[in-house]
Structure 1
Amino acid sequence: MTVQTPPPIPGGSAQQVAFHRTELNIILSLYGRMVAAGEWRDYGISALSDVAVFSIFRRTAEHPLYRIEKRPKLRNRQGMYAVLGMDGQVMKRGHDLRTVLRVLERKLIRAVE
């Protein structure tokens, strides 16, 4: 697990966007199921001034497979939650975190041999 926080801004108020406990419970529930399935192995959380990011890795030293972003400035537009792929393409965006994460839950459902 990697947690990154930016250094405080000298002489200014450092306001950060972060995931709330209920949001983290939803994300970590999905993360735990994917770890149990052997798909994911590590994650990182970044709390920046305009966005909070939960990055998901297959291995520790790789680029993130997926990024779950929270951008409160987009709350009244297309939604503040988004899932981005490895290439930065938006896979799903919306107002409700559970519905946005469904795009990743599809990866969990597979045919059993």
Structure 2
Amino acid sequence: MAAGPQGSSSITGSVVAFPGGRSTGPLQVGFDRMELQRILDLYGRMVAAGLWRDYAMDFAREAASFSAFRRSAERPQARIEKRPALRGKQGMWTLFGEVGQVLKRGHDLSNVLSPLERKLLKVVED
């Protein structure tokens, strides 16, 4: 049935839901440009010091993580995780050690990376 210029059609204005439904949040968590720059800067200095050789990144719905390896066949020596759901609690950043222990948590990435930064400090004698 055709509708005239001022007439109405037999189809009413109904809204059809898009398949898949609405998501409640982002499809995955990621690092922004400044966060990734800070992490990769540390990674580069650790590689130059001979402490790390490889890395991996994982982006999931709940968290994003950066893992650094001494050798690619081993467990990560360090893992930096961003979990925005914890932003209001103990902080969205967590630093995990080689066996999965929590080394540091916080709201600021620089503070969470400080235990790794200390490994780069060398004592200089006069």
The TM-score, its normalising length taken from structure 2, stands at 0.77
Which residue is equivalent to 1:56? 68
Picking from 40, 47, 71, the partner of 1:35 is 47
Structure whose residues are more often strand by fraction: 1
Picking from 86, 94, 104, the partner of 2:98 is 86
> What secondary structure, in the 3-state scheme, does the structure 2 residue paired with 1:61 have?
coil
Which residue is equivalent to 1:110? 122
Percentage identity across paired residues of the two chains? 61
Deviation at 1:50, TM superposition (A): 0.2
Segments ≥4 residues shifted beyond 2 Å? 11-14, 110-113
The TM-score, its normalising length taken from structure 1, stands at 0.85
Cα distance per residue 1:28-62 (max 9 Å; x no partner): 11111111111100000000110100000001111
Give the greater-gyration-radius structure (CA).
Answer: 2
Let me know the Cα RMSD of the aligned residues.
Answer: 1.9
Q: Distance in 1 between matches of 2:114 and 2:103?
A: 10
Q: Distance in 2 between matches of 1:64 and 1:52?
A: 15
Which residue is equivalent to 2:6? none
Which residue is equivalent to 2:11? none
Q: Distance in 2 between matches of 1:87 and 1:60?
A: 16
Q: Distance in 1 between matches of 2:124 and 2:102?
A: 29
Is residue 74 of structure 1 aligned with residue 101 of structure 2? Answer: no
Gaps of at least 5 residues in structure 1 are 1-10
Per chain length, whose mean CA-contact separation is higher, i.e. which structure has more relative contact order (CA < 8 Å, sep 6+)? 1
